A = this chain, B = another copy of it.
């Protein structure tokens, strides 16, 4: 019997009524003749409540104990979910990460999955049971409980699908799919029928919060189709899958904004090997997460080095730059705080000309000044003034016709 993995997020299991509704979804799939494995997150705001409990006792709780604490949230959901299914007359059994040997490394609060014992789940499915697995959690080789970080239940779902040989992992959530842009900002955004793993990865890392990037990586690596859909309405959502030829016809799949960014430029850095390495090693030591990097030679001896960071990292980044600037012969440090980054993503860019030109043109027409530009193979990002961010997104979305389904665009 074919296996489907169905993952329910915290808002989809927040109370008894919602758990029952999710359970009904599961039984409908079961009745269609599938074996169903459910992955569930902690109920509603419970993880936040547990974090608050911990902070009452410790300003910076030991990570191992934090994982021990937080993993209880999912454990509660899965046992309640199994009870709901039993009450509906279905055989069900819940498992913690430990019980299915969801082995991870020992990096508490950000662990990575190493292996899963699919055998125990297969044996239960053979007995016609519905299996409910606690998302977000695993154990390391010493039986310490680990967690995969926020959104980690998505990763559990897709990794389980891979381990069980399931071709499909459904992600039930409080949105009904992936949109061409954030509908709260660009009201005319439309839901995509499908998107490639690579495009979704770019969008996720650019702040489109629907899916956890690691889950998408797993899907890509192990060939698991991901279906992001609504837990409250029974309508098709968005399929995340491998690139298919017709995707190439779509130049831009989606657009996104990342706010609260800052830019630091080191002007006139000595243009000798090793200087850039020194700068970024120093930033890493200060625990600053660096986004895009732009380096340009300004003469044979001098270069300008620019990078984007989150606003919250700005104080430590500035301090780090003051410490290192003499060592790399930097003439001056220039900081801009009010930056947002507007990006367009699409695998079609690989084979289409004129995408950058169209984007810059749209921004110019909307009178949005572009501070700096970075690109990847399937992405173009423009840094703009933060207070022009919404206008910039709207202009770009209109230019690429993101207000209509891909097959109805002019090109």
> Closest CB-CB distance, A95 to chain B, in whole Å?
9
**A84 touches which one: B58, B76, B143 (CB < 8 A)?**
B58
A79 at the binding interface (Cβ < 8 Å) = yes
**A72 touches which one: B75, B84, B86 (CB < 8 A)?**
B75
> Closest CB-CB distance, A355 to chain B, in whole Å?
50
A78 cross-chain contacts in B, Cβ below 8 A:
68
Q: List which A33-73 residues lie within 8 A (CB) of chain B.
A: 50, 53-54, 56-59, 61-62, 64-66, 68-69, 71-72
Closest B residue to A87 by CB, please name it: B58
A94 cross-chain contacts in B, Cβ below 8 A:
65, 68
A227 cross-chain contacts in B, Cβ below 8 A:
none
A64 cross-chain contacts in B, Cβ below 8 A:
93
A204 at the binding interface (Cβ < 8 Å) = no
- In the complex the two chains form, what is the Cα distance from A251 to B114 in whole Å? 65
CB-based contact A86/B68 at 8 Å = no
- In the complex the two chains form, what is the Cα distance from A69 to B43 in whole Å? 13
CB-based contact A82/B62 at 8 Å = yes
A359 at the binding interface (Cβ < 8 Å) = no
CB-based contact A59/B87 at 8 Å = yes
Q: List which A205-246 residues lie within 8 A (CB) of chain B.
A: none
Closest B residue to A86 by CB, please name it: B62
- Supply 15 A–B pairs (Cβ within 8 Å), ascending by A: A16-B56, A54-B80, A54-B83, A57-B84, A58-B83, A58-B86, A62-B82, A62-B83, A65-B83, A65-B92, A66-B79, A66-B83, A68-B79, A72-B72, A99-B144
A62 cross-chain contacts in B, Cβ below 8 A:
82-83, 86
CB-based contact A61/B86 at 8 Å = yes
Which interface residue of A79, A80, A82 has the most chain B CB atoms within 10 A? A79
A19 cross-chain contacts in B, Cβ below 8 A:
57
> Closest CB-CB distance, A266 to chain B, in whole Å?
40
A20 at the binding interface (Cβ < 8 Å) = yes
Q: List which A85-135 residues lie within 8 A (CB) of chain B.
A: 86-87, 92-94, 96, 98-99
CB-based contact B57/A87 at 8 Å = yes
- In the complex the two chains form, what is the Cα distance from A251 to B388 in whole Å? 89
A98 cross-chain contacts in B, Cβ below 8 A:
98, 143
- In the complex the two chains form, what is the Cα distance from A273 to B64 in whole Å? 63
- In the complex the two chains form, what is the Cα distance from A84 to B62 in whole Å? 10
CB-based contact B57/A16 at 8 Å = yes
Given contacts A94-B68, A143-B99, are A57 and B76 in contact (CB under 8 A)?
Answer: no
Closest B residue to A91 by CB, please name it: B62
